[in-house]
Structure 1
């Protein structure tokens, strides 16, 4: 291929740099930009912000007040009710920010045509999903920081001081958040419309909270309920968080008598992989009645 100099009339071989550049920014930059956009969009939805941020704090306050902030879960255990319920509220807050938030919001975006329009743009699908995950990590982090501050300042819940416990907190939080986000993306295909998303998603979240040791001491639940809850991620996130905020003696309150960190990582990772496979196979950018 040659090009012609309009002034001299001479020709030369075309060079790749002569072509107009149409390359998009790198994936990391696109994902970051999408994360910033998603975070801003989330904070514009004031009702969602209030529910996601206030709900765990409100539930901790209710349970700490009802059961007594200075009452031990078991006499001589050294574990008080606010201290026991805090890990469950951290876990359920992560679930609200990740699974519930994405399952409802993505279903709404599909219903109002946002996903269809995005798909027609040069934005890679990977950047869209990384933006959603980034938004979840930011909001879950802010929410958890607020919850820990209220627990420590208002209810005198002792926060861990050992680096090892904070390392456990970090990997359970990140793995649990990623798992919840991917599960939320996969589950967003279940509601038939944006209007039906909340009635479909919220009951699932509520049921899991009741059976996963969030509202009740897990070892006091019926055995069949413990076994059913052990299939799902929330139970393991709550147990992983209890290993962070409860003393070592608190492991005796678990049905297995230990924190089971290996099982926690395995179950969360398994759900992450399964949800990723299901999401890839079932995710749709269009409404069901849009062909």
Structure 2
């Protein structure tokens, strides 16, 4: 079996399993959408940094969608390991990358659908503008997705069973949800928390997504501050450069962790 044919088969299987599992569908697809309606909608009459506050939060929830995909991928990898699927595949000629490619590909398409839904709501209902730099937006989404997908593979190695997976995933979700500027600027946090918050893996993703969408220099905005300066395409990439480098650094780190921590067999042997 070729790499492509195996990855394609795993994509189809992972796609069907995702939509048939109510828990994974709720967490991996509906949760960011529902939060968008509950939290962002009431902010339609406010502004932050010179942009629509509801759209600001909606774009932040694009980043949160990457974390909910991480939760489902973590559960999926652990379940496949416990069912001896990974052990059997490891004994075949299928390359390790192909073993995960289909599963990660299916998760990536789900994130893309979420981006279309959240972006459509932000533009059509909240009155946000169309993305100022679609190329930067797509690059950030891809980089952020790979970061959290590989993190899921890495943390599967320290997750003993699928029952324990929520205990491993929940701290990541909570930290990113409330500390990475998804709902409110990092500047609104106590000063002693701002440094650690900026170091969270989701923080540069959210910041770069907002810069790409609104074409402004995000990072130091606050509810009380004035409008942020507009950026042309070149200066938009310059502004997002540090965030993109941080995403790349995080991705490199989790790749190393995945190579060290990934287990192909259940802990029980």
Normalized against structure 1, the TM-score is what?
A: 0.80
Within 5 Å, give how 1:1-291 maps onto structure 2: 24-25=1-2, 27-66=3-42, 68-73=43-48, 77-97=49-69, 99-160=70-131, 162=132, 165-248=133-216, 253=221, 260-290=239-269
**Larger Cα Rg: Structure 1 or Structure 2?**
1
Identify unmatched segments of 5+ residues in structure 1: 1-23
Q: Which moved more, 1:32-41 or 1:228-237?
A: 32-41
Identify unmatched segments of 5+ residues in structure 2: 230-235
User: Do the aligned residues in 2 keep the contact of 1:57 with 1:150 (CA within 8 Å)?
Assistant: no
What is the total number of aligned residue pairs between the two structures?
257
Secondary structure, counterpart of 2:182 in structure 1: coil
Q: Shift of residue 238 of structure 1?
A: 0.5
Secondary structure, counterpart of 2:47 in structure 1: coil
Distance 1:248 1:277 in 2: 34
The corresponding residue for 2:232 is: none
Distance 1:183 1:250 in 2: 26
Q: Shift of residue 121 of structure 1?
A: 4.1
Using a 3 Å threshold, how does the CA distance of structure 1 residues 180 and 249 change in structure 2: closer, same or farther?
Answer: closer
Normalized against structure 2, the TM-score is what?
A: 0.86
Q: Shift of residue 252 of structure 1?
A: 5.5
Using a 3 Å threshold, how does the CA distance of structure 1 residues 122 and 46 change in structure 2: closer, same or farther?
Answer: farther
Post-superposition CA distance 1:101-141 (Å, at most 9, x none)? 21222122222333223334443322112222212221111
Distance 1:222 1:170 in 2: 32
Higher helix share: 2
